[in-house]
Amino acid sequence: MKKHKRDLAHRSYVKGYQSAIQGRSLSLCPYQENTTMAYQWSRGWREGREDGWSGYNTNACQQKVGNLILNH
């Protein structure tokens, strides 16, 4: 099994990032409030939103997600 599959906090971050670039709301966080997983998901979501507002297109965001997965 690859390391990124075992690191649940990192996976949560990546899932949040992906949700943001797909235009989903922060309120759709799938994790229970006040948990590490919810915090990481929210961090990823916020970074994804910032990238979108900074002018990143969908392809650039997908490339970043790929790099996040591979480099972790």
- Average pLDDT of the segment spanning 54-66: 79
pLDDT above 80 for 4: no
pLDDT above 70 for 9: yes
Quick check: 8 and 38 in contact, CB under 8 A? no
Tell me which of 66 and 20 has the higher pLDDT.
20
- Of the pLDDT bands very low, low, confident and very high (cuts 50, 70, 90), residue 2 is low
Per-position b or e across 9-36, b if 16+ CB within 10 A of its CB: ebbbbbbbbbbbbeeeeeeebebeeeee
Mean pLDDT of the chain: 85
- Of the pLDDT bands very low, low, confident and very high (cuts 50, 70, 90), residue 27 is very high
